[in-house]
Amino acid sequence: MSKKISVLVIEDEEHIRTVLEYNLRLDDFEVYLAAEGRTGLEVAREKKPDVILLDWMMPDMDGLKVLSELNCDEKIKNIPVFMLTAKGMMEDVGRALYEGADDYITKPFDPMQLGEIIKKKLEKCAVPKSR
């Protein structure tokens, strides 16, 4: 029996967290949730998920600040981070990747296909990059 892929969802909008959790669990992922950046960092440090889905636009601590803090922590800096956001302009994508995101998922997305999207993106990230 193979280990479930664990996903940490850091998203401030409750209805989006709920949809993500439901669909990821249907696809047999282990799911951790955080409603804001600081809590997400704590969960990442405690659980060390296989991948983090990180919303960009959140109050108090936006996704890029969370990403920066993840990248500065030796114990969790190699966890792949996929930005999950409505910011879909090429300069936004470029900025997120430049800041250390491993990939980008633009809202709106099909929640029923999210599991497959994550698995494919994780395959792309299989070779760890140095941050």
pLDDT in tens, the chain (131 residues): 468 999 999 999 999 999 999 999 999 999 999 999 999 999 999 999 999 999 988 988 999 999 999 999 999 999 999 998 776 667 877 888 888 899 888 877 887 888 888 888 888 776 544 44
Q: Return the structure tokens found at 115.
A: 């599991």
Q: Which residues contact 130 (CB under 8 A, 6 or more apart)?
A: none
What's the pLDDT score for residue 109?
80
Element (H, E) at 114: helix 114-124
Q: Which residues contact 22 (CB under 8 A, 6 or more apart)?
A: 111
What's the pLDDT score for residue 94?
83
Specify the pTM: 0.89
